[in-house]
Chain A
Amino acid sequence: MRHKITRRDFIKASLGTAASLSLPHLGLPELLAQTLEEKEIIPDLAVVTDGDPASLTRRAVELIGGMKRFVSKGDVVVVKPNIGWDRSPEQAANTNPHVVAEVVKMCLESGAKKVRVFDRSCNAASRCYDNSGIAKAAAEAGADVSQVVSAGFSDMKLPEAEVLKKWPLYKPALEADVLINVPIAKNHGLTYLTMGIKNLMGVMGGDRGKVHWNIDDKLADLAHFVRPQLTILDAYRILLKNGPQGGSLKDVKLMKTMVAGTQIATVDAYGATLFGIKPAGLTHIVKSSKFGLGEIDLDKVIIEKVSLG
């Protein structure tokens, strides 16, 4: 099923088109120069469907260049899932534990010195870590799973921010060599959906309730500052209603989809389409895109879709 588009294929096709039409191609010299590099074109987004959570995750990361593209030997990596709620994996309120575990494994395979997994939970942290299954799965995969320590937050200035100019953020997340954002795609009453950008709230300290006033601008500011290198959107199960913590299995839809990309707004934009929502209608994604955090017009994005089914 895989439609692999290498850069070479792309150029050949372009040249072929140009030649067949016998028209002068304006970008030809550049394209010819690039053919010398013989590199694959890495898509902006990898979308893998129909598989178990772990293999979906692994394939999605491979498609956007493999974990080695992000993690070098000796790196300290932070994997930031959503462990917000005292809910089980089936209820789709937290990131799927197998997804988190697989990401951890890939980081270690790429030579990471240490992989840390944490999130600032909304319910009692121990309950969320246990019930979500993430603490166990990630630890077994070799990660350092820890609860957020209140002393780890320190006030930080967000220099480029428009609204959220100062906020306490979690130092271990920002000081890591690599930050990998692993959100789950869920319904949310205020931002309509919560995915990659909103998942970054897990590194915020202080009274996060106040973030909800003018939330779209604040989230864009936050995403602009935190800048995870890789976002893997877990859409194995998505929560359609009563988000962000759901509770009823009736509100959960099995999508068996994994979306990976380096541009957080692009990932979220694709995630929105899974719910049948146009990305342009989600203010926080639009604002983040304006900050240069990714193209949200999916027609302009190179998407590589693979089905494992």
Chain B
Amino acid sequence: MKTGRRISQILFLLFFFFLFLAATYPLRIKIPVDLFLRMDPLIGLSAMVSARAFVETFLWAIGVLLLTIPLGRYFCGWVCPLGTALDVTSFALKRKAGKKYPKLKYLKYMILVFLLVGAVFSSQLFWVFDPIALFTRSIELAVWPIVTLISTAIYGLAFQVFSYPDWLGKVHNFFSSTLLPDQLNFFRMSGWVLLIFLAILLAEFVSRRFWCRYLCPLGALFAFFSKFQIWRRRVNSDCTECAVCQNICKMDAIGGDFRNTDYAECIQCYDCVQDCSPAVTTINFKGKNQPYGIDLGRRRVIHSTAAGLVSVGILKSNLVTRNQTAALIRPPGARPENEFLDRCIRCHECVKVCSTSGRFLQPTFLEAGLEGLWTPVGVARYGYCEFNCTLCTKVCPTDAIHLLDVETKKKWVIGIAYIDRNRCFPWYKNENCLVCQEHCPTSPKAIELKDEKVRHFDGTERLVKRPYMIEDLCIGCGICETKCPVAGKSAIIVTPENEQRWVDGIS
């Protein structure tokens, strides 16, 4: 069964990566690419508690949660991609079970209470701790840029060495939109995300599954639901008390008496069954099942509740003013800012799937305030919103970005561009340019050129084509800002003026 568990882990991890790579244009697969996020009950819970609305995608998670009642924390041991990544790390580093901190086990429950209390008051911090969102985010923001760096280097090298071989063209055609993109993806917050991800992986040096044992609120939620689990570790009376099981248990779920199991911690990994030399340990459905309880203790509940309330205070007293927040270009179909922040769990699926992936959609730093940290924002100088593209609206697991059809999207205003006449060539240099007008995708164009006779500073008269904004037509896609050839800051800039947000029943 241990082999079976390993196969399951590997398959689910591969499936996760498959969905991750599939989250790109043309997005033809029928399976939702955010499936793992949808399966995660914590994400659904988070969105529903903070936004006080039913989120349809939660239906997947209900199934996962119901299975937990008889099967315990099977998800942690058999499915969770982060758990598998941790096991793989331990395997690669040849780590033993490591140090035990029994008191720290309560921390994850406290984190869960802290998050729930905060969520009630709309300070949504689930995104920080949710393992699936964290893993997806880490892969997208920290690992994926490295993959693209390598793949562009491979293309470059192959081109240099073999000139232009036909197989390279075929490889490029086949893989460029999935596995080996030709375009370097870069993200502003990559370094920070990578540090956190590495810290979680390297905590394996302290003890195996450190994250799962002490921090993971999803694990804590599963523990609450696995109270009546019937698929349990059982040891019969022939136990020789060799202590092997206790030493190898990566979840520290086996106590002083080797026959007893801390079922709230056990993830059914079968390590103890495999290594039990008298073969008296089994995990099965037989025998009596005593429900067990998790006693968090009044003090811990009070502490974490208090911490949750304090978090509300900190997050809601924004470190930035409203005006600064208003400078953000949100993806098309995004809900009004408050609701958007309640729902967004920073999985960055929208960032991954974006047609100009690695350019337009970027994680914020503090532009949206502390509570808006790492939310997706359009940065038009790096990239732009493709006119015919609705991909980001199709992959949001919490519906923070609502699904738009192509015709609606083409008219959906995410901002309006304005021309900086102090930097725009036709305006200050009296020289023709027009790149912004050429790229403007609306029909008729939101940028109009007018032939103007102007007196140049040397006294001569010139005929110049000068761009003007037709504000009613601009949808703020930002391609003008991306393509503006003026070095540094663009001479045409998109602001969220006039932006539309998705409101149920109104939009």
Partner-B contacts on A (CB < 8 A): 86, 114, 116, 122-124, 126-127, 130-131, 144-147, 149-152, 171-172, 175, 188-190, 207, 209-210, 212-215, 241-242, 244-248, 251
Contacts and interface: CB of A to CB of B under 8 A. Distances in A.
29 contacts: A86-B386, A86-B388, A124-B355, A124-B356, A124-B386, A127-B25, A145-B173, A146-B169, A146-B170, A149-B168, A150-B182, A150-B183, A151-B158, A151-B159, A151-B160, A171-B164, A172-B164, A190-B437, A190-B449, A209-B435, A212-B435, A212-B485, A214-B431, A242-B443, A242-B444, A245-B439, A245-B441, A247-B443, A251-B443
With most chain B CB atoms within 10 A of its CB, the pick from A124, A127, A212 is A124
B432 A126 contact: no
A308 to B, nearest CB: 31
Interface residues of B, number: 46
B443 A150 contact: no
Nearest to A241: B444
A80 B388 CA distance: 24
A152 B157 CA distance: 10
B433 interface: yes
B494 to A, nearest CB: 17
Contacts of A131: 388
Contacts of A171: 163-164
B389 interface: yes
A131 B406 CA distance: 14
A144 to B, nearest CB: 6
A130 B26 contact: yes
A145 B169 CA distance: 8
A303 B484 CA distance: 41
B210 interface: no
Contacts of A213: 425, 431-433, 485
A218 to B, nearest CB: 12
Given A124-B25, A152-B159, A171-B164, A146 B173 contact: yes
B356 A189 contact: no
A149 B182 contact: yes
A209 B465 contact: no
Nearest to A135: B173
A242 B445 contact: yes
Nearest to A190: B434
| Most chain B CB atoms below 10 A, which of A123, A172, A175, A248 | A123
Interface string B425-460: 100000111110111011111000100000000000
Interface of B: 25-26, 152, 155-160, 163-164, 166, 168-170, 172-173, 176-177, 182-183, 355-356, 386-389, 425, 431-435, 437-439, 441-445, 449, 465, 483-485
A150 B483 contact: no
Closest 6 CB pairs of A and B: A209-B485, A247-B443, A151-B156, A146-B169, A151-B159, A248-B443
- Residue of B155, B432, B438, B485 ringed by the most chain A CB atoms within 10 A: B438
Contacts of B26: 126, 130
Given A124-B25, A190-B434, A209-B485, A248 B155 contact: no
Given A151-B160, A190-B434, 15 more contacts: A124-B25, A127-B355, A130-B26, A131-B388, A144-B169, A147-B176, A149-B182, A151-B155, A171-B163, A188-B438, A189-B434, A189-B438, A190-B432, A212-B435, A242-B445
A242 B448 CA distance: 9
A163 B166 CA distance: 35
Contacts of A175: 163-164
Contacts of A189: 434, 437-438, 449, 465
Contacts of B177: 126
Contacts of B437: 189-190
Given A124-B386, A127-B389, A213-B431, A248 B444 contact: yes
